[in-house]
């Protein structure tokens, strides 16, 4: 087990270094960073001073190692749009809001999707299974931002039950959380159903039934545990997407997370914040996948001894 974790940590570190190389390279081949940093009326002397200040007058390999060292200490420089604030501080201030929204959406998704997926697999071909497929079809067909607008129109504008936007008490998170989690409910449900159908036909499930184990124990303990790896994989992917890819939804609900910060940074060509966002978002994805890989080893020992996921 320890060897498996060490290997995954090493792979995560390699992936993070690779991301840093890509971010560093793209930031320089996409255009001169001084175009975003320097004012319009900057003189050649001003440009030279900015080059020296940001280290652009050094060889590229030296610039990269400086960038990597600064990234390890979360020093990405100061924001251009939000003057006087560091890029890392802006992200860390916005991150809790995105984590709160994503966590609530994931909780709702798992709470709804897993039972629906399991019951749909057990009741294959019945009305319950058809209803579950219909829920999945709706979930994968409705864009979250469109669903968010519809929910605002119904529950905020017409009924007046929930706030329209902003971050406050529990009622503020319900509409954006449901809109964000709806697609995940569909995806989790379909994958859970598919995995359960494969497991329910396996020999060890048949053997458990022959031994006289209660049906609820066969389904919710033996079958679900062994069908958990595919949904867990999707869970790790969607967790990263929810935290980092909710720009449109945060804009619809005026939710003050990193989605709104990303949009503001891109529109204002805030070089430091964009670079910091890409690095920190990539690090979060890698960390989430690392946790999922470790959970694999606890769920299925074959992953641990085989050195892979299968």
> What pLDDT does residue 309 have?
47
The CATH architecture that domain 87-306 belongs to is: Orthogonal Bundle (1.10)
How many Å from the N-terminal Cα to the C-terminal Cα in the chain? Answer: 15
* pLDDT digits (tens), the chain, 310 positions: 677 778 888 888 898 888 888 888 877 776 666 666 666 677 777 777 777 776 777 777 887 888 888 888 888 877 777 776 888 888 888 888 888 888 888 888 888 888 888 888 888 878 887 887 787 777 777 788 888 889 899 998 888 888 888 787 888 888 888 888 887 787 788 888 888 887 777 777 777 777 777 777 777 776 777 777 777 777 777 777 776 656 778 888 888 888 788 888 877 777 778 888 888 888 888 888 788 777 766 766 665 555 544 4
φ and ψ of 86, to 5 deg: -75, 150
What's the predicted TM-score (pTM) here? Answer: 0.72
> What pLDDT does residue 4 have?
74
> What pLDDT does residue 244 have?
63
Give the integer Cα–Cα distance in Å for 142 and 136.
Answer: 10
The domain segmentation of the chain, as residue ranges, is 87-306
Name the nearest CA neighbour of 300 among 106, 196, 292.
292
- The two tokens of residue 33 are 């960073």
Q: What is the pLDDT of residues 68-77, one digit of tens each?
A: 888 888 888 7
Give the integer Cα–Cα distance in Å for 159 and 206.
Answer: 51
Cβ–Cβ contacts within 10 Å for residue 95, how many?
A: 17
Specify the residue for token string 């971050």. 167
Contact status, residue 113 vs residue 189, Cβ threshold 8 Å: yes
Q: Nearest 5°: CA angle at 123, between 122 and 126?
A: 165
């Amino acid at each position: 087990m320890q060897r498996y974790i060490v290997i995954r940590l090493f792979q995560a570190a390699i992936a993070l270094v690779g991301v840093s190389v890509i971010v560093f390279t793209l930031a320089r081949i996409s255009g001169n960073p001084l175009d975003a940093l320097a004012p319009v009326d900057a003189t050649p002397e001003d440009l030279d001073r900015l080059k020296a200040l940001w280290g652009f007058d050094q060889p590229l390999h030296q610039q990269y190692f400086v960038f990597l060292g600064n990234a390890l200490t979360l020093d990405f420089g100061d924001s251009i749009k939000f003057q006087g604030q560091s890029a890392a501080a802006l992200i860390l201030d916005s991150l809790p809001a995105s984590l709160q929204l994503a966590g609530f959406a994931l909780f709702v998704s798992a709470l709804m999707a897993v039972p629906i997926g399991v019951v749909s697999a057990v009741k294959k071909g019945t009305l319950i299974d058809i209803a579950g497929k219909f829920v999945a079809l709706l979930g994968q067909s409705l864009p979250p931002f469109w669903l968010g607008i519809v929910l605002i129109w119904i529950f905020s504008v017409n009924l007046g039950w929930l706030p329209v936007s902003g971050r406050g008490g529990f009622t503020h998170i319900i509409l954006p959380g449901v809109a964000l989690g709806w697609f995940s409910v569909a995806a989790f449900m379909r994958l859970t159903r598919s995995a359960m159908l494969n497991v329910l036909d396996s020999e060890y499930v048949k053997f458990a039934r022959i031994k006289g184990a209660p049906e609820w124990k066969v389904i919710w303990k033996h079958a679900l545990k062994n069908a958990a790896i595919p949904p867990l994989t999707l869970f790790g992917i969607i967790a990263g997407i929810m935290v980092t890819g909710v720009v449109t939804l945060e804009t619809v609900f005026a939710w003050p997370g990193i989605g709104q910060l990303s949009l503001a940074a891109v529109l204002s060509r805030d070089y430091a914040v964009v670079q910091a966002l890409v690095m920190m978002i990539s690090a979060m994805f890698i960390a989430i996948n690392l946790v999922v890989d470790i959970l694999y080893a606890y769920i299925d020992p074959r992953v641990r001894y085989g050195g892979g996921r299968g």
